[in-house]
Structure 1
Amino acid sequence: MITKLIVRGLVAGLLAGLLAAVFAYAVGEPRIDQAIALEEAAAAVAAPAGDVGGTATGTHSHEAGTEEAAHSHGEEALVSRNGQRFGLFLALGLYGLAVGGLFALVYAAVRGRAGPRSEPALAVTLAAAAFLAVVLVPFVKYPANPPAVGDPGTIGQRTVLYLVAVAIGLLAVAAGVAAHRYASGGEPWVRWLVTGAAVLVPVVAAWALMPRIAEVPRGFPADLLWDFRVASLGTQVVFWAGIGVLFAFAARRRTPV
């Protein structure tokens, strides 16, 4: 039975990843192109800034700018935009396979022990909880940024903080599940109130203590930043909704758990 669930999870994850890739290609890629164009325009303006005066220093600055431009073009040629777009589908497909397998294992572990009684409802609820913990909670504190936003020197710090945010999201959801089960004997509104408090209190406390990262350059278009973040979050919504619905369809049974 576990093997069948894993196979269904892999298939559901792959299809959900491809659906998310289609959404990201249609909605997110135009924003990335706009951000890259802004980055290239800023680099073109900054490149001749040091080439003033005609002195040896100016010549050296010009040569350095030329080398930097050549390096930038070389990196761009190494992986073209078409190659990156293909990589988007490949990466999200592989990501879907990995997440789908893990999702099936978690589903098998919690089935019959927590959550709704019907298997489709359990799958959708589990996907929603995973989206809340892994995507939404970290996104609120550290939203995604397009190209030209972010200091390369802080990549390590940002990665660590994001992983800490994911861990906090997982712990908060686990606390919510435990509180929901603990208050099972009370009124429904009390049960959901306790569950919400168990999720929100640790998240709000952690967000107040964790450092804020503000690296959006002055003058960066606010509408482009907003559209990119909406597209990034929308991609995850499509992925987790897809994996929940597809797995619910694949794992459904006539009898309840």
Structure 2
Amino acid sequence: MIQKLLIAGMLSGFLISLAAFGYARLFAEPTIELSISMEQDADAHGTHPHEETISRNVQRNAGLFTGIASFSVALGGLLAILVAFTHGRIGVGTRASVWLVTAASYASVVVLPQLKYPASPPGVGAAETIGSRTELFFIAVLVSIASVILSIWVTLQLGRYLSFSKSALVGTVVFIGLASLAHLALPTVDEVPDAFPRELLQEFRLHAWILQVIIWGGLGVVFAEMAKYLVDNSDLDNHAVRYISPNA
């Protein structure tokens, strides 16, 4: 059953990647193209010319689809593993289990890190700080994931004594508190040039958010239906733990 869930999750990811690629190609790519042209203009007027290793035509077509499809398929597989582990342990049905896992993952991997370090188009940020900015972003992701895991643990522990709704509320408060502390503790990075159009920056970030919503939200919907079908036609409900651990 775990293998079937894994395949369903990866298949869901591939299907969603088609819609995500369509959106990115139609709406996000024009903002990237404009940002790149501005960066190239700046290079031509004083810094070093930028030579493309891969042509823009390949980047915005085959490269874009490969990147989105690879990410979506891998994400679908990861969500399938998490759903298999949590199913039957949190007191909700299959669809709700998928939605909760997807929402918690989305909040920890996308929402919180990007609230602190939002996505930026080409030409924004100094080249010499790419390493440090990337490191800070991954630290934010790890801290956010740790906050989610701890809040889930608190919810499960309190679930022994309280209703699911009450224990989930306490877990949510714990998560918000930890995430807020992390947000305040991590250093702020703002390297947007004064000359860079704010409208273009906001448009790029809006499309980045929408693209993530399409991928994560689409996966939550499509995979939830596939998972429910698999569970309804198997004995996963009664033997969920057995599939995860032979000693359970």
Shorter-normalised TM range: 0.7 to 0.9
The answer on 1:250 being equivalent to 2:226 is yes
The corresponding residue for 1:219 is 195
Alignment partner, residue 26 of structure 1: 26
Q: CA deviation at 1:141?
A: 0.5
CA offset at residue 21 of structure 1? 1.9
State how far apart, in whole Å, the 2-side matches of 1:181 and 1:106 are. Answer: 15
Calculate the TM-score normalised by the size of structure 2: 0.86
**Separation in 2 of the partners of 1:248 and 1:106?**
13
Cα distance in structure 2, aligned partners of 1:103 and 1:189: 23
Partner Cα distance (1:187, 1:14) in 2: 37
1:158-180 per-residue CA deviation (whole Å, 9 max, x = no partner) reads 11111111111111111222233
Match of 1:62 in 2: none
Q: TM-score, normalised by structure 1?
A: 0.83
Q: Secondary structure at the match of 2:121?
A: coil
State the match for 2:2 in structure 1: 2
Post-superposition offset of 1:16: 2.0
Give the 4+ runs in structure 1 shifted more than 6 A. Answer: none
| Corresponding residue of 2:57 | 82
User: Within 5 Å, which residues of 2 pair with 1:167-206?
Assistant: 167-184=142-159, 185-186=161-162, 190-206=166-182
Letter in 2 for 1:16: I
Displacement after TM superposition at 1:189 (Å): 6.9
Report which stretch shifted further, 182-191 or 137-146: 182-191
CA deviation vs aligned residue, 1:39-76 (integer Å, no higher than 9, x gap): 122223336xxxxxxxxxxxxxxxxxxxx43xx2xx23
Unaligned 5+ segments in structure 2 are 238-248
Structure exhibiting the larger radius of gyration computed from Cα positions: 1
Q: Give distance in 2, aligned partners of 1:189 and 1:242.
A: 25
Match of 1:118 in 2: 93
Please give the secondary structure, in 2, of the residue aligned with 1:104: helix
Cα distance, 1:192 vs. partner? Answer: 4.7
Of all paired residues, the percent bearing the same amino acid is 35
1: CA distance, partners of 2:9 / 2:166: 34
**Structure 1: how far apart are the matches of 2:142 and 2:17?**
23
From 152, 160, 167, the counterpart of 2:135: 160
1:105 aligns with 2:62: no
Q: Which residue of 2 aligns with 1:63?
A: none
Counterparts of 1:45 and 1:151, CA distance in 2: 17
How big is the alpha-carbon RMSD for the aligned residues of Structure 1 and Structure 2?
Answer: 2.0
The CA deviation at 1:18 is: 2.7
Give the paired residue count.
231
Structure 1, 147-156 or 169-178: larger mean CA deviation: 169-178
Shifted more, 185-194 versus 8-17: the winner is 185-194
Choose which of 110, 116, 120 in structure 2 pairs with 1:141.
116
Unpaired runs of 5+ residues, structure 1, are 48-67
